[in-house]
Amino acid sequence: MLKLSSLIAGLMIFASGSGLSAVQADTGTLLIIGGALDAENVEVHEAFLKGSGASGTIAIIPAASGSPAGSAAYMVERLAAFGANPARISTVRLATEDDTSTPDADESTWCGNAYDDREIAKLEAASAVWFTGGDQARIVACLIAEDGSDTPMLAAVRGVLQRGGIVAGTSAGAAIMSRTMMLGGESIEALTGTAPSDPSDAFKLGIGLGFLACGVVDQHFGQRARLGRLAMALAAQEQPDRLGFGIDENTALLVDPAQDTATVLGAGAVTVLDGRQASFGAAPVFAATNFVLSMAVGGDRIALATGAISLAPGRKPTVGGEYYSHAPQEGGGLALPAASLDRLLGRDLLDNSSSASVRALSFLNSGRGVRYRFTQTAQSAAFWSEASPDHYTLTGVRFDIEPVRVVIQSIPKNEASQ
């Protein structure tokens, strides 16, 4: 098990000993959005409005945003565009940052409203809650009391779920959903044990709100290459499930009322990383073997306790009838075509008769780097659909992370042409 700082260890021990670890939504629905939600994403917006029902109000909580009033107003506009009555939508005044576009109000004083009866009443009347994006630490700072207990406002949000309502969150609003929360950091620096130029960008975990009963959520997943940091989170946490769910931008997980399964909505993929059988090297440089990686796309369903994927209709297997037959390119950098994870594991691995493994290299100018290795096993499978030929559903791929040292040398001019 990877050893992180004593601060993180303390956070994890505190989380396991608090009431947060036992909290789950028994009857309500969660809509967990990977960020950068397209304003015209019909599927995700309509799923939220359907979950809100015909009665009750919609409460927007902009606490994560640096522009809380502006982000809340934007969401009112977007939901109204999909048919919601603006009179039915209320903004919960909860924030830590002042919105300069509202000179008559200082939103930085709103964090204490987690104890304000007038603001809590908005949630007590609500059938739906939307957490905006921004910085997830701001949400937690307002909604969890200093002793780790729920504030009255957080209790009211849980009440929405207990009444069968829906709680949605995008970007930072997605990160708060799990018990263990991603607070910051990007993959390559964290994996190589390299200190970021800005200390606030260091890899950190914290306590989330625990609406999701199992696993760790990460967002902006494929677009920001966060597979490595999700692997580190699974190595660091002490939860018995040790599962991670990486949600791409403009993509969502709709968790059903029993919270046993979730359906993928939107344009991208949800990466399921299973670390239950993985082994890890010692810090500060990260190494891991025997992760199991799967990817689900629109319409697929995920069993949250195990990571097993049920296919959407119309998907066809590739293994045994591979379309491609080529030697995959290995390396990294801007001179190589950009490849999404599902295309790499689909076209270069599980839909490719000439390949049983693929590797991808990432490194810093210091020479510190990592090599990702993805291996097809007897349990591996891939499926594609004519309706979305560029997106594969993938299951059972072995994933290993190996630390490497890269030496970069310029080629003298007299040798460059040889």
Q: What is the pLDDT of residue 101?
A: 86
Rounded-to-integer distance, Cα 288 and Cα 51, Å: 40
Q: What is the pLDDT of residue 418?
A: 62
Beta-strand pair 309-310/261-266: unpaired
Q: What is the pLDDT of residue 248?
A: 98
CATH class of 6-268: alpha beta
The residues with which 130 forms a beta bridge, in sequence order, are 60, 168
Residue 10 in tokens: 């303390």
Rounded-to-integer distance, Cα 150 and Cα 136, Å: 16
Residue 27 in tokens: 């009857």
Rounded-to-integer distance, Cα 263 and Cα 304, Å: 10
Q: What is the pLDDT of residue 10?
A: 38
CA 393 to chain centre: 18
CA 99 to chain centre: 27
Beta-strand pair 279-280/288-297: antiparallel
The list of the chain residues with pLDDT below 50 reads 1-25
The residues with which 182 forms a beta bridge, in sequence order, are 205
Q: What is the pLDDT of residue 66?
A: 95
Which residues, including other chains, have CB under 8 Å from residue 8's CB and lie 6 or more apart? 204, 205, 236
Which residues, including other chains, have CB under 8 Å from residue 71's CB and lie 6 or more apart? 62, 65, 132, 133, 134
Q: Which residue has the tokens 């949000």?
A: 157
Report yes or no: 105 and 68 within 8 Å, Cβ to Cβ.
no
Report yes or no: 237 and 9 within 8 Å, Cβ to Cβ.
no
Report yes or no: 287 and 66 within 8 Å, Cβ to Cβ.
no
Instruction: Give the burial class of 95: count Cβ atoms within 10 A of its Cβ; 0-12 exposed, 13-18 middle, 19 or more buried.
Output: buried
Report yes or no: 211 and 161 within 8 Å, Cβ to Cβ.
yes
Report yes or no: 25 and 250 within 8 Å, Cβ to Cβ.
no
Q: What is the pLDDT of residue 1?
A: 42
Q: What is the pLDDT of residue 218?
A: 98
Rounded-to-integer distance, Cα 135 and Cα 133, Å: 7
Q: What's the per-residue H, E or C state across the chain?
A: CCCCCHHHHHHHHHHHHCHHHHCCCCCCEEEEECCCCCCCCHHHHHHHHHHHCCCCEEEEECCCCCCHHHHHHHHHHHHHHCCCCHHHEEECCCCCCCCCCCCCCCHHHHHHHHHCHHHHHHHHCEEEEEECCCCHHHHHHHHECCCCCECHHHHHHHHHHHCCCEEEEECHHHHCCCCEEEEECCHHHHHHCCCCCCHHHCCEEEECCCCCCCCEEEECCCCCCCHHHHHHHHHHCCCCCCEEEEECCCEEEEECCCCCEEEEEECCEEEEEECCCCEECCCCCCCEEEEEEEEEECCCEEECCCCCEECCCCCEECCCCCCECCCCCCCCCCCCCCCCHHHHHHHHHHCECCCCEEEEEEECCCCEEEEEEEECCCCCEEEEECCEEEEEEEEEEEEEEEEEECCCCCCCHHHHCC
Residue 121 in tokens: 């009443």
pTM: 0.93
Domain boundaries, the chain: 6-268
